[in-house]
């Protein structure tokens, strides 16, 4: 029983669910501008459920469609090893996808807006398209980045947004960042890598730069609703924020660079794991620019379940 449970936790990539929650929560907070910690609104609760369901469905169906490859390259995984029945995984993956769609519709009802339901429908299509068709093609990283962007938008639409043009930089930038991670992670089981490592790192940099533009543009627009504020005090806070964002971005790219220098499977997997983990920290810092320290610290605390989950099962 314990072995079966552990196999399922590994199949759904338990630690990474914290990053999905961070995205949808960050999207909601950026639009709503909440400053004080409060119990999540019904729309946010439904959006968080939808996010987790979509992520779990994507992970399960990913391994379902990769089972023949994994029999050769990763025979220790739950499906090729036989610890989880393939038919059962297909059923669970599709049920999770359906749960995500239903929860997205419930988000739309709670938010009194059709947009969360439409984003949920797009996420359903994007998850299926990536796992079933796009993953092994040149469009694979784009499809995965789209899934991450849509997850951000799920949270934003639950709060009635995006409301300002600059807010679109956040889902697009974080989606481009994940697109870079996906490209970087291609063929991670192989010892010898090609220039996809460099291309993935550059794309990650572009995504980080795009998302980092949001606080600067918000400040230029004199949006006093943001935590950064305006005037001399706002300029000082913005400078400090940009320095923090730059340091976080540099730490991610440094690990990626080390993977390029020594492109072994272990090095590449470490860089990928670090880039995935950093999604939580990056989301927290983006929330800091809009909502201040309390909510940013709450998002940052999602690292706790991430690390606890990674202690149980691998995040990649």
128: pLDDT strictly greater than 60: yes
Is the pTM of the predicted complex or chain greater than 0.85?
yes
Residue with the bigger pLDDT between 70 and 60: it is 60
Domain boundaries, the chain: 2-312
122: pLDDT strictly greater than 50: yes
Residue 194's H or E segment, with its range, is none
Report domain 2-312's class. mainly alpha
Cα gap 21→87, rounded to integer Å: 28
Q: What 8-state DSSP symbol labels residue 226?
A: S
CA dihedral 21, 124, 82, 77 (to 10 degrees): -50
What integer pLDDT is reported at residue 188 of this predicted model?
Answer: 59
Q: What is the mean pLDDT of the chain?
A: 89
- Per residue in 201-229, pLDDT tens? 999 999 999 999 998 887 766 555 566 66
């Amino acid at each position: 029983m314990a072995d079966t449970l552990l196999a399922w936790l590994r199949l759904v990539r338990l630690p990474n669910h914290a990053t999905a929650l961070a995205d949808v929560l960050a999207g909601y907070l950026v639009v709503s501008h909440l400053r004080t910690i409060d119990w999540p609104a019904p729309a946010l609760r439904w959006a968080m459920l939808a996010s987790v369901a979509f992520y779990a469905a994507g992970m399960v169906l990913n391994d379902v469609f990769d089972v023949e490859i994994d029999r050769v390259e990763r025979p220790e995984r739950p499906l090729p090893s036989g610890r989880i029945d393939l038919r059962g995984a297909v059923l669970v993956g599709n049920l999770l996808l359906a749960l995500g769609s239903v929860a997205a519709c419930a988000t739309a009802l709670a938010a009194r807006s059709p947009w969360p339901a439409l984003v949920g429908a797009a996420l359903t299509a994007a998850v299926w398209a990536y796992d079933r068709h796009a993953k092994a093609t040149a469009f694979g990283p784009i499809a995965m980045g789209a899934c991450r962007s849509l997850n951000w938008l799920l949270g934003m639409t639950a709060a009635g947004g995006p409301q300002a043009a600059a807010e679109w930089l956040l889902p697009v930038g974080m989606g481009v960042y994940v697109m870079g991670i996906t490209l970087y992670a291609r063929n991670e089981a192989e010892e010898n890598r090609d220039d996809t490592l460099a291309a993935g790192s550059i794309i990650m940099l572009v995504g980080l730069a795009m998302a980092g533009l949001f606080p600067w543009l918000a400040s230029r627009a004199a949006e006093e609703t943001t935590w950064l504020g305006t005037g001399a005090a706002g300029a000082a806070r913005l400078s400090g924020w940009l320095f923090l964002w730059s340091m976080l971005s540099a730490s991610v790219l440094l690990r990626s660079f080390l993977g390029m220098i020594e492109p072994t499977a272990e090095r590449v997997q470490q860089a990928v794991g670090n880039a995935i983990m950093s999604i939580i920290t990056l989301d927290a810092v983006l929330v800091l620019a809009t909502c201040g320290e309390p909510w940013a610290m709450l998002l940052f605390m999602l690292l706790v379940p991430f690390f606890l989950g990674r202690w149980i099962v691998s995040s990649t």
